Amino acid sequence: MSDERPAQEGPATFRDVFGQPEFRALFAANILSWVGDYLAKAAVTVLVLRETESVALSAAAFAVSYLPWLLGGPLLSALAERHRYRRVMVICDLIRMALMVLVAMPFMPAWSVLALIFLATLANPPSQAARSAVMPQILTGDRLVVGLSAFTSASQAAQVVGYLIGATIAALNPNAALLVNAATFALSALLVRVGVRDRPSTMTAKHRSHLLRETGQGFRIVFERPVLRAIAMLVFSAMLFSIVPEGLAAGWAAERTDGTMDAGTAQAVIMAAGPVGYVLGGVIIGRLIAPARRLALMRPLMVIAPAVLVPALLDPAPSVVALLAAACGFAVAGLVPVANGLFVQALPDGYRARAFGVMATGTQVIQGAAVLATGALAERFSVPSVVGAWSAAGVLLMLVAAFAWPRPRTIDAAIAAARAESAPDAAAPTHAARGPAAGDRGREHGRRRHAVT
């Protein structure tokens, strides 16, 4: 499928996107995987708590699913770049299916459950990296942006659905919930195998080197190219403050209730508000706003996203907190899918999976660090004060990001350069690993200057 797009392009619709059979198959497979992941998190925490009666081990069972991204996300994503993307996704689903069946066995001790969960989640980075790399081969232009918006909105909805289903089934039989999770991976593998075309890896011989060097190239291509670096900084900054209401929801609900809901309900409402706002924002902005308008809205949305959380300083009731968190999620949904669409278009073939690993790992680390930092501050100050002050700092950070955001012509030039590098007869893009060649330094300097104006 050609990567070319028309010079003047109208807004893509969900009908355009879901009219692609491959996208439908990939979308359905990922929905199943996501629901299964969150279902398993809810079930495993219950299972470990029942087996050990230890809240600490139960929390560890929840947290262990994030370790693969922290310990080997970029490396595993680089490994996925070497192989056919459909094969990677299918194998990862089958591995997770088999391991989750083992976790569900009633004779498994708690330490074995934790080890198997860790092994199962090692398949997440290569699977998601392969999906990210194949998406631009299925959708192009604004269809890609709308498709990414559909994916990110669906992931938020899958989180809510997975937790609800997992908690409900796990209350009766956590082992049964884990078997349901294994079945979702089996169906996901089948959908990808049947519905997605088998394409060769875009990593050709000219990209191949040592695996660690390839991983390092993923970091360099993200942070050495001005447009990609600006997008990465925007996404990381958005994650730094948007996760905080969800992460501190339990403490917030314990400190403040409005008389209409108990602490548990208040916590659930606050935690769900961000994902709900994100889903609404993804649907409304992705569907109703034209591509050029979405790009123009990025700068104001950068500032609005953290600014709507600043009123937390006034210590509002949990219902108002939920509205603030939903508004933040709505604004972030206007930023991240558009930024992701630009990001994958500005990446040359052969680097998409590795760059995804860098971005996903950074997102996980930043979200975890933000929750840990604000949680530590909340030990000394009230939660509303911490969230409001943290968000005010986010406004300043986003003002810097908005000022540094590249001009449209700079972004267009980066996308055109990526397409030129991806052409079959293009020379090996060695500058991704070693920096610009001597003859290109003047042009690279010019691009960097424009990127920060």
Under 8 Å between Cβ of 262 and 362: no
Token pair belonging to 172: 């009766």
Tell me the range of 326-340, 370-384, 412-426 where mean pLDDT is highest.
326-340
pLDDT digits (tens, 9 = 90+) for 137-155: 888 777 887 887 788 778 7
Under 8 Å between Cβ of 47 and 57: no
98: pLDDT strictly greater than 60? yes
- For residues 377-383, give the mean pLDDT: 83
Q: Which of 97-106, 259-268, 286-295 has the lowest mean pLDDT?
A: 259-268
pLDDT digits (tens, 9 = 90+) for 236-275: 888 888 888 877 776 777 676 556 667 667 767 787 788 8
Percent share of the chain, pLDDT over 70? 76
pLDDT digits (tens, 9 = 90+) for 334-375: 888 888 888 888 888 777 777 877 887 788 778 777 877 887
**pLDDT grade for 303, boundaries at 50, 70 and 90:** very high
Q: What is the pLDDT of residue 69?
A: 67
Mean pLDDT taken over the chain: 77
Q: Checking phi first, is residue 435 left (phi over 0); if not, alpha (psi -120 to 50) or beta?
A: left
